[in-house]
Amino acid sequence: MTGKEIKELVCKMTLEEKASMLSGADFWHTQKIERLKIPEIMVSDGPHGLRKQADLADHLGVNESIQAVCFPSGCALASTFNRSLLEEQGRALGEECQAQDVAVLLGPAMNIKRSPLCGRNFEYLSEDPYLSGQLAAAIVHGVQSRQIGCCPKHFAMNNQETHRLNVSAEADERTIREIYLAGFEHVVKEEKPWTMMCSYNRINGTYSAANRWLLQDVLRQEWGFDGFVMSDWAAVDERIEDLLAGLNLEMPGNGGVNDKRVCEAVKDGMIEESVLDKCVEEILQIVFRCHRNRNHAAIFDLEKDHELSRRVAQEAFVLLKNNGALPLSEQEDVVFIGQYAKKPRYQGGGSSHVNSFRVTSAVEAAAGMEHVSFVQGFFDEKDLIDVQLEKEAVEAAKRAKAAVIFAGLPDSFECEGYDRTHMRMPHSQNHLISEVAKAQPNTIVLLHNGSPVEMPWINEVAAVLECYLGGQAVGSAQIDLLFGKVNPSGKLAETFPVKLEDNPSYLNFPGERNRAEYREGIFVGYRYYDTKKQDVLFPFGHGLSYTTFEYKNMTLSKTDIRDTDTITVSVDVTNTGRCAGKETVQLYIAAEGGSVIRPMKELKGFEKTYLKPGETKRVEFVLSKRSFAYWEERLSDWHAESGRYRILIGKSSRDIVLEQSVQFQSDISIPAVYDMNTTLGEIVSNPKLCGFLKVMEELLGSDMPKLFFEEEQGGAAEREAITLEMRNATALDTPLRSIIGFGTGAVSYETLEELVVQLNRWSGGM
């Protein structure tokens, strides 16, 4: 249907029919209107697998959904650092949706991991907005290439579960733009998602659903979003306010209560009917797009997707530590210890919970490998040391050549709906790991968790493989990596702090009385740890391999750049080891000096590449002004200050191997506004004002302050009390108003006011 036809259709609708389109017909469907042949569409969770509920519906994953494929959760997807792989997964999900008559997939979930405690971190991608945006875009691209709509969520600042329905996330605009919106911005601008889901929480006091700035000014006007916005399930607070702010669809339904209020509001003249019309048009555009693109021949190939899930998991697992114990040999005795070897924890609880058609555990995947045995080690329902099981595990470990402990967080430790209160694993598991490690030097820990954990035993074990929540094929991927059939290539999309207290949000998470102040500002994740030079357990971007890579020949296409330029950075990567593998080359930018506070470095590019032993490939990155920019509130825009920037090429945020620098010359000047409190230093530091000192001298006469002292003044006693540096600092820190205070009476307030007027005129471009 064309835009014109949709407008005509809306003209034919009664007020009540229009209002009915504004809320779900039920938990998962939009309203249909048979009289006008307006069909319904179905939406379904979730980010990493289809949760289509055919019968009883809920938003917590309680009632059963159809059998589907559970891919690795967001935390694991992100550590693949692989855009094309996630796009492929997106295509598979799109096909599953087509085959199941689901029109919109409610994902990706792409909130920033502000604190490792957020109960829903397992669904989210990263602590870094660039990485989140790039990977979410790849997923959306894949899903929407199959003509299924995506619904990036939760827009925005849904970074905790505590009070998630009414907490106010409070931050300054720069922080919001740079950290919490930038990922969404990239996805909307590049991939044009068909829908968006607004979050439950408030942002600086206003609910996302009622946030006109967020939904209209930023999302539609600035970023050009042209789909419809739906609420998170029951996120609506005041329907009329939300409608005016730009919320199209209230989900799930509301039994018609809010529809009636909308009709009354139109009748009472509180809202123009044209607002309603526009809102319905935006919904119908997508509804008809979905129907036009239905593919009845689509095949839901569970087996094929299971294999894809395994491939994604292979690239998601991160080898955190390896002293040479991995890979294992199939010819030597290995004991698998722990519940998760047999019953893996491979997905999280809540609305993303998929009814997996099959789950492969490591024990199953190792069937037929005669040197592999299994002992239980622990049960995860209760955090109690089972002396008998532990003893059995230690004995088995002693007899074997290596012990692999399948450990991690039980379901109850992390889930949608509540946050963790600490970062520890169950004490019983930590104890088991230490005891086994005492008996067996080749102790390898495989972790199953959705978010970082503290590792008190890290120096006792030989290797650690972070498997996150690896999806239903988790066991096969584990065997592939453990025995070296596949080389690990995952990299951490988040920092693992040594302890919870090191995290920058620690003092303000989850806030108090429904208010979470994001006082760490832009210093989230490695932006904080690296700037503070804080020791971490494992840094952002870290991940080992069974081979080694060498980076060489970094070149820049130019070293002087302006606002409209792009610059290409290239580097050669060689596989210098003995087996094939994939490496993710990371590019960070560090601003040198400058007048604003910036993180030590920020990720602005990454490329994953496959290399055979001895092979070299050239990896390229294209940077633009945005790569160097921060959000400048005075311009209400992105701005890159003139100055030097270092371009860093690294294997992680803490392992920078090559660097070069560029000179950036900005054409944009920030209009400065001067007043009586402007200091002399601010005047002197503005190159545009160098001629202005003459004007000052004329106006101020003998009361013109001395700005620079070059020699020590006075006698020895005075020089001891007041250094040259202090004189200069004091002079430059003096505000204009103090010229009167320190003056001889020669300057009047009128003269100073005149000076301020001229100052503003000069800085405006003279």
Residue 233 is a binding residue for ligand BGC (CB under 6 A)? yes
Output 228 or 523, the one with its CB closest to ligand BGC. Answer: 228
Q: Give the integer Cα–Cα distance in Å for 136 and 138.
A: 5
Q: How far from each other are the two terminal CA atoms of the chain, in whole angstroms? A: 55
Here the tokens at position 415 are: 């889930």
Residue 683 has φ and ψ, to the nearest 5°, of -70, -45
Residue 163 is a binding residue for ligand BGC (CB under 6 A)? no
Which of positions 651-690 make contact with ligand BGC (CB under 6 A)? none
Q: Give the integer Cα–Cα distance in Å for 572 and 617.
A: 6
The only residue of 87, 95, 128, 232 in contact with ligand BGC, by rule CB under 6 A? 232
Residue 59 is a binding residue for ligand BGC (CB under 6 A)? yes
Binding-residue pattern over the window 296 to 335 for ligand BGC, x denoting contact by CB under 6 A: ----------------------------------------
Q: Give the integer Cα–Cα distance in Å for 300 and 284.
A: 27
No. of H helices and E strands in the chain? Answer: 25, 29
Residue 408 has φ and ψ, to the nearest 5°, of 150, -160
Quote the least distance from Cβ 59 to ligand BGC, whole Å.
3
Quote the least distance from Cβ 44 to ligand BGC, whole Å.
8
Quote the least distance from Cβ 562 to ligand BGC, whole Å.
43
Which of positions 235-294 make contact with ligand BGC (CB under 6 A)? none
* Integer Rg of the chain from CA: 30
* Helix locations, 106-181, DSSP H: 129-145, 173-175
Q: Is 232 a catalytic residue?
A: yes
Binding-residue pattern over the window 31 to 50 for ligand BGC, x denoting contact by CB under 6 A: --------------x-----
CA distances from 352 to 55, 62, 276, 402, 404 (A): 17, 11, 32, 36, 29
Which amino acid is it at 456?
P
- β-pairing, 630-632 with 637-639? antiparallel
Contact 73, 347 (CB under 8 A): yes
Quote the least distance from Cβ 580 to ligand BGC, whole Å.
39
Residue 87 has φ and ψ, to the nearest 5°, of -65, -40
Q: Give the integer Cα–Cα distance in Å for 726 and 766.
A: 32
Residue 134 has φ and ψ, to the nearest 5°, of -65, -45
Establish how many alpha carbons lie within 13 A of residue 258's alpha carbon, considering only the half-sphere containing its beta carbon: 22
Residues contacting ligand BGC: total by CB under 6 A? 7
For residue 387, the surrounding DSSP H or E stretch is: helix 387-399
Q: Give the integer Cα–Cα distance in Å for 675 and 749.
A: 12
Quote the least distance from Cβ 120 to ligand BGC, whole Å.
8
What is the dihedral angle through the alpha carbons of 556, 561, 566, 571, rounded to the nearest 10 degrees?
A: 10
Output 237 or 364, the one with its CB closest to ligand BGC. Answer: 237
- β-pairing, 67-68 with 643-652? unpaired
Output 151 or 365, the one with its CB closest to ligand BGC. Answer: 151
Output 123 or 502, the one with its CB closest to ligand BGC. Answer: 123
Output 178 or 232, the one with its CB closest to ligand BGC. Answer: 232
Residue 73 is a binding residue for ligand BGC (CB under 6 A)? no
Quote the least distance from Cβ 197 to ligand BGC, whole Å.
7
Here the tokens at position 277 are: 């019309």
Spatial CB neighbours of 523, under 8 Å, sequence gap ≥ 6: 504, 531, 599
Active-site residue, selected from the candidate residues 232, 242, 305, 480: 232
Output 106 or 486, the one with its CB closest to ligand BGC. Answer: 106
Quote the least distance from Cβ 574 to ligand BGC, whole Å.
43
Quote the least distance from Cβ 158 to ligand BGC, whole Å.
8
Quote the least distance from Cβ 47 to ligand BGC, whole Å.
8
The only residue of 29, 113, 153, 310 in contact with ligand BGC, by rule CB under 6 A? 153
Output 199 or 763, the one with its CB closest to ligand BGC. Answer: 199
Place of tokens 């019953």: 343
Q: Give the integer Cα–Cα distance in Å for 558 and 623.
A: 11
Output 349 or 488, the one with its CB closest to ligand BGC. Answer: 349
Q: Give the integer Cα–Cα distance in Å for 393 and 429.
A: 12
Contact 592, 660 (CB under 8 A): no
For residue 519, the surrounding DSSP H or E stretch is: none
What is the dihedral sign for C-alpha 360, 78, 136, 570?
A: negative
Q: Give the integer Cα–Cα distance in Å for 763 and 757.
A: 10
Q: Give the integer Cα–Cα distance in Å for 177 and 505.
A: 18
Q: Give the integer Cα–Cα distance in Å for 197 and 184.
A: 11
Quote the least distance from Cβ 153 to ligand BGC, whole Å.
5
Q: Give the integer Cα–Cα distance in Å for 739 and 757.
A: 16
DSSP reduced 3-state for 251:
coil
Which amino acid is it at 473?
A
Which of positions 637-656 make contact with ligand BGC (CB under 6 A)? none
Quote the least distance from Cβ 252 to ligand BGC, whole Å.
8
Which of positions 482-541 make contact with ligand BGC (CB under 6 A)? none
Contact 121, 75 (CB under 8 A): yes
Which of positions 335-364 make contact with ligand BGC (CB under 6 A)? 351
Q: Give the integer Cα–Cα distance in Å for 183 and 158.
A: 14
Output 232 or 682, the one with its CB closest to ligand BGC. Answer: 232
Q: Give the integer Cα–Cα distance in Å for 184 and 223.
A: 10
Q: Give the integer Cα–Cα distance in Å for 630 and 641.
A: 9
Quote the least distance from Cβ 159 to ligand BGC, whole Å.
13
Output 18 or 120, the one with its CB closest to ligand BGC. Answer: 120
Spatial CB neighbours of 647, under 8 Å, sequence gap ≥ 6: 556, 569, 587, 588, 589, 623, 659, 660, 661, 662
Residue 553 has φ and ψ, to the nearest 5°, of 55, 55
Output 59 or 420, the one with its CB closest to ligand BGC. Answer: 59
Output 106 or 396, the one with its CB closest to ligand BGC. Answer: 106
Quote the least distance from Cβ 78 to ligand BGC, whole Å.
17
Binding-residue pattern over the window 102 to 121 for ligand BGC, x denoting contact by CB under 6 A: ----x---------------
Output 351 or 356, the one with its CB closest to ligand BGC. Answer: 351
Q: Which residues are catalytic, by number?
A: 232
Binding site for ligand BGC (CB under 6 A): 45, 59, 106, 153, 232-233, 351
